Structure 1
Amino acid sequence: MLMRLGYRDVKSAFVVPTDLDPIERHPKAAKPGEPMRMHNRTCYGCGEDSPQGLHLDMYAGEDFTITASMQVEARFEGGPGVIHGGVLSTAFDDVMGMAPLLIGPSAVTVHLEVDYLRPIPIGSTLHFRAALLGRQRRKLYTEGVAHIGDPDAPVAMGHAIFVMINPREHFAEHVKNSQLADEYTQRMSRP
C-alpha cells in the first residue's frame, strides 16, 4: 500500500481496511489552526511540564489532520550528528496519537511502524503532518510524514493503529505511578 498523504516513494505493508466506519469531527475538537491539548502535562511527547520531553507543538489541521514541529536538540543524538531513531518514533507516536482526539475518543497505540528515509541532522526543525485515515469499530488507522523544510522531500513516514479506550478503566491500576497521581485520582473519581 502506498502512503495516502501524497508521497509515492515508500511502500508499506500497513493495510487500511476498505470497510471503514464513518467518522465525524467532534464538536469540541480543536478547530483548524488551533493548538491541540496535551495528553497530560507530563507527557514525554507533548507535555509542557516534562523536563526531558520532546515538547512537540501540535495544531489541528483541516479534516482529520494534525501538524506539529519540534527542534532536533543535541540531547536527541543517535548516530553522529543525527536524531536517534527511537526519539523519532516517539514523536510519530505522539503526533499520530493526537489525530483520534479530532473525533473524540481516548485511544492508545497498539501498532506503530516508522520508515526512516534520510538522516535528520541535530539542530534542524522537524515538521510533521499526520492524518486519521479511518475507523473500524475501536481501531483507528493513522499515518504521518516528517520533513525538515521541504514537504516534497520527506525524511520519515509512519503508520499506526490506535484502539479507543475508556481511560478510567484503562489507567485505573497505573495512575498511582503518575507524577500527577493525586490530580488524576481526583479526576477519575468524578462522575
Structure 2
Amino acid sequence: MPEELDELVRHPKTSRPGEPMRPHNMVCFGCGEQSPRGLHLEMFAGEGFSVVAEMPVEHWMEGGPGVIHGGILSSAFDDVMGMTPRLIGPAAVTVHLQVDFMRPIPVGETLHLRAEILGKQGRKIYTEGVAHLGDPTTPVARAHGIFVTIDARKHFAEHVERSARADEFKAGKPQV
C-alpha cells in the first residue's frame, strides 16, 4: 500500500453503523437476494470504514471433506470487501484479491466476516478482510484486496444485456 493516502470521508448517504447495506445487484452471487445459487450475504455497515456479515457454511459449499471450498470463501471475501467502497461513495470493482487460508472452516459453522478500508489513493481503494468462527482473536482466514472506482453505467454497458435483470438495468431502476 502506498505511503501517501487520500483522506477517507464517509459518504453522507451511506448506511450508518449497524444498518444493512444495499446489495450490489439483486442477482449478485455474493449479496443478491434473488441470486438462485448465491451466498445471500446480508451485510451491515460497521464503525469507521468497515462492513460485517455472517455466513452459514452449508453442505453445498463443501470442498475438502467437511470443510468449505476455498473459492466460496474467496467469493465471500470479495463481496464483503467489495461493499466497503460504498461507505465512501464510489462504485468500485476488484482488481486484486489475495486470500490467506489459516485454518479449516467446517461445514455447519457460521463464518463471521469483517472488511475495512485501509486506505485510498486516487481510484484505488485498499481493503482487508478477516474471518473467524465466533472468536475474533482466532481468525480462520485473512484477505487483502484492491478495488478501483468506476463509472458503473459505462463499465457494465456492454455486458448489461447478459444480466438476468437486463430490462431493469436499461430502465435505470437498480444501481450497481
- What is the TM-score with the length of structure 2 in the denominator? 0.97
* Pairwise CA RMSD: 0.8
Among candidates 76, 84, 90, match of residue 91 of structure 1: 76
Return the letter of the residue paired with 1:109: T
DSSP 3-state at the match of 1:160: strand
Give 1:66's aligned residue. 51
Letter in 1 for 2:161: K
Identical amino acids, percent of aligned pairs: 65
Please list the CA deviations of residues 127-161 of structure 1 after superposition, one character each: whole Å capped at 9, or x if unmatched. 01110111100000000100011110000000000
One of 117, 131, 135 as aligned partner of 2:120: 135
Distance 2:165 2:113 in 1: 28
Q: 2:7 aligns with which of 3, 22, 25?
A: 22
SS in 1 for 2:51: strand
SS in 2 for 1:17: coil
For 1:140 and 1:164, the matched residues in 2 are separated by 8
- Give the match for residue 29 of structure 2: 44
| Residue identity matched to 2:153 | R
In the other structure, the counterpart of 2:148 is 163
2:98 matches 1:152: no
> 3-state SS of the aligned residue for 2:139?
coil
Residue of structure 2 in register with 1:53 after alignment: 38
CA distance in 2, matches of 1:158, 1:56: 17
d(CA) in 1 for partners of 2:34 and 2:26?
5
Runs (4 or more) in structure 1 with deviation over 4 Å come to none
Cα distance per residue 1:64-118 (max 9 Å; x no partner): 0011111100000000000000000000000000000000000000000000000
In structure 1, how many angstroms separate the alpha carbons of the residues matched to 2:46 and 2:106? Answer: 26
Instruction: Return the alpha-carbon distance in structure 2 between the equivalents of residues 62 and 18 of structure 1.
Output: 23
How far off its partner does 1:44 sit? 0.3
Q: Which runs of 5+ in 2 are unaligned?
A: none
Corresponding residue SS for 1:155: strand
Letter of the 2:27 partner, please give it. T
In the alignment, structure 1 segments of 5+ residues that lack a partner are: 1-15
| 1:187 aligned counterpart, secondary structure | coil
